[in-house]
Chain A
């Protein structure tokens, strides 16, 4: 039985590969940018498993779909009004064997798909730690309007606009939002997960090899939404250590004042203009040291039993960062960058 299923699956996969192949070709032909942004071009085991599942579901479902695509035109042609030779049975309305096929085949396909769904959903649960001989790198992610803040609690550093991690080592993300709901996605590595204020969610990543992958927010959250993207960079272990050191040496302190700039509604580029020093890269902000309990302070902001007026709510247009007058440069304007 299981062998039969496997052969059936394999032949379906062959079919689906041809179908999805065209999609893939298009992606690969036109998508030759330096940054991978699709799970159809996976760079980690999770995205690869998601792609495989995608192919299998497509193939298996085609068993039910293909007959429609083939037979509808044939029936229309064969039984056209002018073809008086075709058999015409105006009162034919029921056939028991046909009913069994009509209900049975889709039901069987769905039962098969359900089994696959069950296994893959369990296996790819974003909360499930990845099996690896290396301990995971813990990163805390804070969604802000319209940028992502990455806190590395073990390294005592933080970045905006760049998520670096060693390739081949699991990355365990803990995520929250300090504004409205957002959705965190690095498509080439793993699926997305919502981030919500006052709550934490989890996501596991693993990159097979060094590379650059696009990370983004997919949940619309205001005018800067499309700019809320960042490169996720998988590095060799030595490169990663060097990167951590450069963040430590080039970073500015992440305190209430600099966090206030980040928390105001602005794109990463706008925050960069205010906070960046000359030693930081063009598209990223480095922070060191950080407050060790910043992440829990952010999630606890919403559980203090006190109202948060708009001027104290990060992301609100009325948000006035605390001690804004202490910041070295004027607070961010909310105009669009272009």
Chain B
């Protein structure tokens, strides 16, 4: 055996040139320097994180309290941290593309290949590793609290879902250091992503990161759905659930049914690439149209999966800050359910131009337009919720306003695109890019940021800085408008998406404006980080340990901030919608229960970390053809599960006396604290006990 035969057996197809530093030295150009710089940032970032954790001796707490925790609240926070880290990369990539197109008249500074990697990673990251984990995080944190549950139904499965998402994110980060990512866009259409056209590791990175993260999402969906069906507090009937929980239920159902098509699409593409199958190849009877159908059979429900929880967040935020019941609860529930069902009937509108008969296009076009009806109803319901309310224009309400005003424009262009006649013209142009950013940024992202601001004090016990909150929100809104409205016009002017450069000088003023907008978005991202930093620094003046800083309406506000690991000292009894608001109205909130019970909470487990590390190694082994590594890590994961299945001691008991002691301390604090009015909402006086402000009786 010579090194020539042994090295490929060990390292697969990794070569020295897989490291981006090597081409940057051998073949220096701006593009290569940016690639090498990005790899350097990943290295440096990882190094700094490891260094800080070691220096402060945080490994123990990190392992005990976070990485091995099965607490839905901690898992939720870890999801959101993952999402924010990935969002930083995704936004920077987006801005880089805007800059490239800003100066892209006949050139620019990025190579074609680098640009196509950027739009592929940007899309993949933003959908799978920002929007999805952010949403899973918020759902994880809030939904069990809203339904009065101690945890999700399957806490260990929950940890595994997070681990699988983290595997995908890790693989996509590693692709910055080792090799290159796919250039096939986030849908990765074959045959372009097939072996004949892209033999390198790029599409394999896409397949494994998206495929593995997709499995995690399927499991999350099962977990959320079962939790909502089985873990609701007594008295909380389906039609007493908070609207956010309703949207989570619909999202969970969509996850269960829409993630499998993604699994099938990625798995069959992998079979084509690894085992010489011919599902989608040009030759031997492959049919790429099957992939396009499978992908969008996932892809379209996916966007509703993302937007529905955001609708739920806006429902909570608008009702709370309007000081009013949600208008049209039943309408909103019916609309949410209709959207979830309709979302499975419209996937073909992503490819009206594939040459199918006009009748097929008509059917899918009309189905797509009909989604506008329940969506419109929702927007009107939120307006009616604000009507005759007493609205505090808080930071989440700024996001909600931005959402209402901008989202309807996204809806308008959505109705346009549902028309095959119009789609034939603007499909694959920047008009389409502007449209989906117009629904995803004001819809999903603003919703998540509103939720982040709204529930942050619940999770950490202090409010986020308001001033920086306004600055951030305004920057996001203005940045969005300046970046993406020009893209609508550019699309109508005929500029195709994914263009690294252009030759028509009339595009330039608009690409430059969009570039300026991207700078505002970068500032918004920085401002979000600054806000977090300042809020943590000044947390002493924003403490809300009593748990109800916004005069909330639902059960999560009826417990301390941050909540104890068992959430509720005693499982609450629910009598109506807006359970906590009703209790406060009736004057029966904060009552001491008659008895306390011991509480069983799931004990820590390292299975998630086994899945996480094993999954990353499995993915790397597959991407780089290191078969031994893939086999060992796969068998390791299976073995770990079998070993774990023999473990019987999976719970830890918290004695009733301890529960009672903690709960009484908190109740005593409540009793000793004055109620604050909404005018004092953002002042240090607001420690989380709200005064119930009612209209004057003279009315």
Contacts and interface: CB of A to CB of B under 8 A. Distances in A.
Q: Do chains A and B touch in the complex (CB under 8 A)?
A: yes
Interface of A: 23, 26-27, 30-33, 37-40, 47, 49-50, 53-54, 57-58, 61-62, 64-65, 68-69, 71-73, 75-76, 79-81, 86-95, 98-99, 102-103, 105-107, 110, 113-114, 116-118, 120-122, 124-128, 179-181, 183, 185, 187, 190-194, 196-199, 201-202, 214, 216-226, 229, 302, 305-308, 310, 313, 315-318, 336, 338
B329 interface: yes
Given A103-B373, A106-B377, A113-B369, A89 B695 contact: yes
Interface stretch (B79-87, B218-226, B501-509, B622-630): B501-509
B141 to A, nearest CB: 27
Contacts of A196: 288-289, 354-355
B391 A38 contact: no
A220 B185 contact: yes
15 contacts: A39-B425, A54-B421, A54-B425, A61-B372, A61-B411, A64-B408, A69-B408, A79-B389, A94-B330, A102-B376, A114-B366, A120-B419, A121-B420, A124-B424, A192-B428
B288 A181 contact: yes
Interface of B: 106-107, 111-113, 116, 183-185, 189, 191-192, 195-197, 199, 282-284, 288-289, 322-331, 351, 353-355, 357-358, 361-362, 365-366, 369-370, 372-373, 376-377, 379-381, 383-384, 386-393, 397, 401, 404-405, 408-409, 411-412, 415-416, 418-425, 427-429, 488-489, 492-494, 496-506, 509-510, 678-679, 694-695, 699
Contacts of B506: 27, 30-33
A111 to B, nearest CB: 9
Contacts of A57: 415-416, 419, 422
A237 B228 CA distance: 71
A117 B365 contact: yes
A193 to B, nearest CB: 5
Given A31-B506, A117-B365, A216 B496 contact: yes
Contact of B494 (A117, A187, A217, A316): A187
Contacts of B111: 223, 336
A154 B492 CA distance: 35
Nearest to B375: A106
A89 B388 contact: yes
Given A27-B489, A72-B401, A219-B428, A192 B505 contact: no
A220 B116 contact: yes
A57 B411 CA distance: 12
A117 B368 CA distance: 11
A187 B491 CA distance: 11
Contacts of B288: 181, 196
A318 B196 CA distance: 8
A90 B324 contact: yes
Given A121-B420, A197-B191, A336 B112 contact: yes
A38 B500 CA distance: 19
Contact of A99 (B106, B183, B328, B357): B328
A193 B352 CA distance: 9
A93 B328 contact: yes
B494 A214 contact: yes
Contact of A223 (B116, B199, B422, B499): B116
B504 to A, nearest CB: 6
Nearest to A305: B284
A75 to B, nearest CB: 5
Nearest to B409: A65
Nearest to A91: B325
A105 B377 CA distance: 9
B355 A194 contact: yes
A221 B196 contact: no
Contacts of B189: 180-181
B355 A102 contact: no
B390 A81 contact: yes
A99 B331 contact: yes
Contacts of A219: 428
A225 B324 contact: no
B383 A306 contact: no
A68 B404 contact: yes
The 9 A-B pairs with the shortest beta carbon distances in the complex, nearest first, are A191-B424, A218-B428, A223-B112, A201-B355, A106-B376, A125-B358, A308-B283, A37-B494, A220-B498
B388 A69 contact: no
A134 to B, nearest CB: 24
Contacts of A65: 408-409, 411-412
Contacts of A201: 354-355
Nearest to B415: A61
B355 A202 contact: yes
